[in-house]
Each structure stands twice: as C-alpha cells, then as structure tokens.
C-alpha cells in the first residue's frame, strides 16, 4: 500500500512539472483549428471556413489544474477546439461548430 502511495506521489510530482505550457497548448489548438478550417473550406462551407478563421485570430483560455492543463479556443462563447494536456503531450478535439 505504501509503495502504491509513493508511486502515485511520484507520478503526480512528475505531472506537475511536465504539464504543457500555454504556448505549447496554443500551438496544438491552432493546428487543430487549421485542420477544422481547411476541412470546412474543402466542403465548400463558407460560414464554417470564415468561423474557423475568426477562431484562429481570437485567443484561447489556458486553465492550470496542477497535474493537467486545459486549453479552449476561442475563449469567448462556446469553444471550437478543446485541448487537454499532461506529461508534455496534448490532445485536441473539435467540440463546436465554426459558424
């Protein structure tokens, strides 16, 4: 039991020091936004393409949860892309519609 607690403490300490920075999360979100905007342009979705471009110009919101990080872009209203990161890695998903 003690070994498990020590292992969890080590993992939490490593996660605290290795969570992605706001700049890294912003780059990952921008890459996903570019892919979403390109897909909308390829499907002749003018509103989606313009919405994606506007989202790329807007800033995102970085939230620090000590062992993980959260980034939502754009910050105002409903986010189009949401990223979660831990251990210097980030995963971004499309959660909204660029309209």
- Specify if 31 maps to a domain: yes
Q: Which residues contact 14 (CB under 8 A, 6 or more apart)?
A: 87
Considering the domain boundaries, does residue 16 fall inside one?
Answer: yes
pLDDT digits (tens, 9 = 90+) for 38-87: 776 666 665 655 566 566 556 788 888 888 999 988 766 778 889 999 99
CB atoms within 10 A of CB 74: 22
> Is residue 99, in this structure, part of any structural domain at all?
no
Nearest partner of 79 among 52, 42, 40, 46, judged by Cα: 52
Domain count, the chain: 1
Residue 68's domain spans which residues?
Answer: 2-94
- Whether residue 46 lies inside any domain: the answer is yes
* CA–CA distance, 76 with 3 (Å, rounded to integer): 44
Any domain includes 9:
yes
Let me know if residue 48 belongs to a domain.
yes
61: its two tokens? 């919101």
Whether 40 maps to a domain, the answer reads yes
pLDDT in tens, 24-40: 998 898 888 888 777 76
Task: Assess if residue 28 is contained within a domain.
Answer: yes
pLDDT at 56: 59
Residue (of 77, 69, 68, 67) closest to 98 by Cα position: 77
């Amino acid at each position: 039991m003690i070994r498990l607690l020590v292992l969890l403490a080590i993992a939490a300490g490593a996660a605290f020091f290795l969570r992605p920075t706001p700049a890294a999360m912003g780059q990952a979100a921008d890459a996903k936004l570019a892919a979403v905007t390109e897909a909308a342009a390829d499907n002749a979705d003018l509103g989606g393409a313009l919405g994606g471009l506007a989202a790329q110009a807007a800033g995102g919101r970085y939230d620090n949860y000590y062992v993980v990080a959260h980034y939502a872009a754009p910050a105002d209203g409903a986010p189009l892309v949401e990223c979660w990161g831990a251990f210097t890695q980030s995963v971004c998903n499309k959660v909204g519609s660029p309209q």
